[in-house]
């Protein structure tokens, strides 16, 4: 486990659950892979600590849409973050482990809920996040 917690916007919890190697650019995809595959999905990954932030985070770092601490799609991102924070009971400064985050997702986001929760997200139509959410609910 890394010393410093990962820094996450609220909607990136579900993005991490559904990540399957696609992204906005090669640099973005490589960074997301290092965070999700090499840390969260690695042995012991459920113990990784994540701190909720209200601005660009560790996933956003190499995103081509990032402008300082904001995004070129800031209104859409704010709407996504607001819905996700409400659904998962997150506020800026909340710290939880990836395992606890998955428990919150399982308890609060039923299969089929992403069409509302993630409305406006370009990745929604690929079905990767819905498949990952279904897998989470079917896991013991």
Please give the helix or strand (H or E) that residue 52 lies within, else none.
strand 49-52
pLDDT given for residue 84 in this prediction:
97
Residue 86 has pLDDT above 90, yes or no: yes
Return the structure tokens found at 106. 């399982």
Whole-model pTM: value is 0.92
Q: Average pLDDT, stretch 118-139?
A: 92
pLDDT digits (tens, 9 = 90+) for 36-81: 999 999 999 999 999 999 999 999 888 888 888 888 888 999 999 9
pLDDT of residue 23: 80
- Spatial separation of the C-alpha atoms in residues 115 and 58, rounded to whole Å: 25
Identify the residue whose tokens are 């486990």.
1
Output the CA torsion sign for 131, 36, 96, 61.
Answer: negative
| Structure-block tokens of residue 96 | 């939880």
Question: pLDDT class for 122, splitting at 50, 70, 90?
Answer: confident
pLDDT tens-digit readout, 1-25: 447 999 999 999 999 999 998 887 8
Q: Where are the domains of the chain?
A: 6-133
Q: What is the mean pLDDT of residues 84-113?
A: 97
Instruction: Write down the pLDDT at residue 101.
Output: 98
């Amino acid at each position: 486990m890394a010393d410093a917690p990962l820094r996450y916007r609220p909607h990136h919890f579900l993005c991490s659950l559904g990540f399957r190697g696609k992204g906005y650019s090669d640099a973005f995809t490589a960074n997301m892979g290092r965070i999700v595959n090499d840390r969260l999905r690695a042995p012991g990954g459920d113990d990784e600590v994540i701190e909720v932030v209200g601005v660009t985070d560790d996933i956003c770092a190499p995103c081509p849409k990032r402008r300082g601490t904001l995004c070129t799609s800031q209104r859409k991102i704010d709407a996504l973050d607001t819905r996700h924070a409400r659904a998962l009971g997150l506020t800026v400064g909340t710290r939880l482990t990836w395992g606890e985050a998955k428990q919150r997702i399982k308890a609060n986001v039923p299969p089929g809920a992403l069409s509302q929760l993630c409305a406006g997200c370009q990745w929604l139509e690929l079905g990767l996040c819905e498949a990952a959410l279904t897998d989470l609910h079917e896991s013991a």
